Structure 1
């Protein structure tokens, strides 16, 4: 947060518009849509709310099947349960760590042949990198499957010149406190379809009809963003390019310092992609590095440095025991070996070097001990 966010927040506060309606929301939606390169944006209370309403907008009903990346935060899968549908988990590809387009195609074809068609796909742009939407969209178009892009982690990323969030019929973003920009809590749904955007906005305001009294003919939700938080979002959005540049600089610094070490590999940047590097993620091969991912996390923690594992694949979660999974070995390895290193935009070069020093010392100490 900077003085820009403070100024914007006070401007909204002084205006008297503090509820989930007001000029800051309208401006935030307009500016966000322009930034992503779509026609419509709807500001919501969370990225999870955006995903939930996206499924409703795509007509997903109880009993339907929805394919989703297995390597993701749990919200991507939970919203499928919200609407009474069944998640089908798809493994990652090596090139981007995102949903594997070939495995997705195989699962869609198989389910279609069985008479249990997949109604929608939620493709997650993991850790700030877009999935392979050329292949994913071709498959979805061929089989009549609705495509939702979960770009919660990827604002500011691009693929072949197009922005994350613009590839699906609907794109969903999160402004949680740890995201590339934040409103403390919040989200955005984007689309090129005016009628869809209007439906989402109506559902997000308890589906109140435009009458003098409170009239409701369909189920609604309390999912709109407040005008105060929208003001913060506008200030954050104005600094997005600067934020992405810094995240990428931090990633490059980690690669320069730690890349030469045996047994460390960083998340690849797939062809055509410009990753936002929301998080810097490395894989630790215990057989080459001398210790596993957890030992590195422990060593950092001893120096009061927070790091954490990558997402645990959904098909390994007790909540989704017994769910259908196609593949699984790639996402499982990323989870077993993956560590998310500190990568906040405000980190100094010295702070990044301090993290690198600890990781290098861990490797050296274990190498000497094993010798």
Structure 2
């Protein structure tokens, strides 16, 4: 192990975060109230555009949970979910004792396969219940097939929960990810394109949904002078300090997107020299990815993802396997899955490469050295 570690996607501060944190201390708003929360939400609403009402929360997972609550998901209800995703996309379904139905990916975006999605809906209808929601993920920053998925959603009148946890700054046909779902979420975990140290947002199309989300996220306290509660709520609101970090991070968002996309250009130029490695890239001009993580597929049996990961690790460089699809996880293997296991196939041969916006030329040179060892 030599030299400083090259991380997969480390936090990258912009410089003004401390100013907003200090403001929280100066005003003594150290709780889940304060101007940082209000201003952070406003900056995101301006970024996302018209009809985007933002609720700042403790995590993206909390945002998905609240989205399902807002859609009245209850015990025994079907919720369709993309299988190829991080487990946080699916776990809130179980929080509500609902039933996940998993759908495979298609090859162009690695996201929801429209054909498999419709098969899943027809199965649910055959069981006498229409799904309460469809959770559509924009994986690794790549927008899902928006037109096709929304067409199916409208055909069957099933709302979309858009999981853009990894896709802040990504666009489809010029429109921002986070604006396609009936309800949408974005994550600000420490490894995301910008961070609040932890945290996430729920994006609503209507202010009434935001008002209810805030109510549920603050223990469902009634508007009384005393603590009155008529339904179960949660301690899900983002803190004023975390929102202060977010305000500073929003000031450098466009630059962070530019830097991540420049990383993709670097990998594209490098991997063009390899016959046995394919870089996951935008399928057409309709798609604009923030390239939160750059991912590759090994197309031939010359070497394995394990061998490549081991070589990177030996040089103190972090890589990561692709998300293991939910239908292959022991937690979820008993639930229905629709598709041809394309997601399982790419899990078997995929790897995420260092993609942080602070990736230096020296770091890139070390990555080139490792990959060159595997060149035919």
TM class by shorter chain equals over 0.9
Q: Give how far 1:328 is off.
A: 4.2
What is the distance in 2 between the residues matched to 1:2 and 1:196? 32
Indicate the SS of the match to 1:335.
helix
- Contact 1:285/1:292 (<8 A) preserved: no
Indicate the SS of the match to 2:166.
coil
| Map of 1:61 onto structure 2 | 74
| Map of 1:323 onto structure 2 | 335
Counterpart check, 1:349 vs 2:366? no
What is the distance in 2 between the residues matched to 1:304 and 1:85? 42
Counterpart check, 1:10 vs 2:22? yes
Moved more, 198-207 or 348-357: 348-357
Q: Give how far 1:76 is off.
A: 0.5
1:146-168: per-residue Cα shift (whole Å, max 9, x none)?
Answer: 11000000001001011011000
Indicate the SS of the match to 1:320.
coil
2:280 counterpart (252, 258, 267): 267
- Contact 2:52/2:179 (<8 A) preserved: no
- How much is the aligned-residue C-alpha RMSD, in angstroms? 1.1
Indicate the SS of the match to 2:310.
helix
- Contact 1:258/1:360 (<8 A) preserved: no
What is the distance in 2 between the residues matched to 1:277 and 1:5? 24
1:158-191: per-residue Cα shift (whole Å, max 9, x none)?
Answer: 0101101100001101110001110001010011
- Within 5 Å, which residues of 2 pair with 1:161-240? 161-240=174-253
1:3-31: per-residue Cα shift (whole Å, max 9, x none)?
Answer: 21122222222221110001110111111
Indicate the SS of the match to 2:86.
coil
Structure 2 residue runs of 5 or longer lacking an equivalent are: 1-12
1:285 counterpart (299, 302, 307): 299
Indicate the SS of the match to 2:112.
coil
What is the distance in 1 between the residues matched to 2:110 and 2:58? 28
2:324 counterpart (307, 312, 320): 312
Indicate the SS of the match to 1:318.
coil
What is the distance in 1 between the residues matched to 2:330 and 2:72? 28
**Structure 1 consecutive aligned stretches of length 4 or more whose deviation exceeds 2 Å:** none
1:272-312: per-residue Cα shift (whole Å, max 9, x none)?
Answer: 0110000000001242xx20111000000011111010000
Structure possessing the higher relative contact order (Cα contacts under 8 Å, 6 or more residues apart):
2
What is the distance in 2 between the residues matched to 1:103 and 1:150? 18
What is the distance in 2 between the residues matched to 1:238 and 1:179? 15
Counterpart check, 1:47 vs 2:36? no
- Within 5 Å, which residues of 2 pair with 1:74-153? 74-153=87-166
Give the TM-score, by structure 2 length.
0.94
What is the distance in 2 between the residues matched to 1:270 and 1:202? 40
> How many equivalent pairs are there?
362
What is the distance in 2 between the residues matched to 1:149 and 1:232? 24
Indicate the SS of the match to 2:132.
strand
Counterpart check, 1:154 vs 2:153? no
- Contact 2:104/2:340 (<8 A) preserved: yes
More helix per residue: 1
Give the TM-score, by structure 1 length.
0.95
What is the distance in 2 between the residues matched to 1:91 and 1:70? 6
Q: Give how far 1:140 is off.
A: 1.1
